[in-house]
Amino acid sequence: MRVLVTGAGGTLGRAVLPRLRTDGFTVRAMSRRPRHDPAADWVVADLDTGAGLVEAVAGMDAVLHLASRPGGGTRTHRVDVLGTRRLALAAGYAGVAHLLYVSIVGVDRVPIPYYRHKEAAEQVVAAGPVPWTVLRATQFPVFLDRLLRAAGRIGPVPGDPAVLAQPVDQHEVAARLADRLATGPLTGVEEYGGPQVLRFDEAVRAWRAARRSRGPLLPVRLPGRLGRELRAGGLTTTAVPTGRRTWTDYLVDTYGGPGRR
């Protein structure tokens, strides 16, 4: 099967490319800027303008759509919503048999501007001319790690202790996507999360121990509907199967395991 992967240079894309090749797919990787990688067939295309999309989808059996522009502003709308429509139309004209779009668990529940655009992109895919699947994944551990490092630069880590998260390893999501491509279009939405739901304070304690950090958690209760949804598990899923690698597994691999204060 010949598969075009958009957003192939991102966190998930870097996990997806080797997985697809290992599973026997013929992979074409897409990015906005030229890349030189002898292990992959890279093409240049831009969802924002549509430049190069026709050439990128030509001859493909499936499109795995990972590309996104986080933020939630006008640029996100142009890339995630209008760009996804351009991609879907180009794929339809090219006779692509499956458009697999990667979204985020909670886009239909958590009132974050970026999530509204992701949900709109899901609707574009579902209404488009290509048989489709949407896979919503929970947050990657590396993203949670970056969030905590950024939040803790001045010492204490601010956050709502009761917010729930369900980190899922990006390599396990890549494996799930490969299985989805092999199975074919679902014509529906599938959710995929990590093996463990954690409170924010639990995640922070484990992170601090692994990094041998003394910076405490600074409790800040998120207000309004956003806080209610996050505390109620808006970023988590009860779907099965789940990944196997836990937040602790990530911390051990990244920092060498919990330290002693």
The residue extents of the domains of the chain are 2-138+169-192
Half-sphere exposure of 244 (CA within 13 A, CB side): 2
CA-angle at 180, arms to 91 and 20, nearest 5°: 80
Residue with tokens 């202790």, as numbered in its chain: 161
Exposure of 14 by Cβ count < 10 A (0-12 exposed, 13-18 middle, 19+ buried)? middle
pLDDT in tens, 40-78: 799 999 999 999 999 999 999 999 999 999 988 999 999
Q: In the CATH hierarchy, which fold is given to the domain comprising 2-138+169-192?
A: Rossmann fold (3.40.50)
pLDDT in tens, 224-240: 999 999 999 999 999 99
Whether the Cβ atoms of residue 124 and residue 83 lie closer than 8 Å to each other? no
Interatomic CA distance for residues 67 and 99, integer angstroms: 13
What's the pTM value of the predicted model, to 2 decimals? 0.95
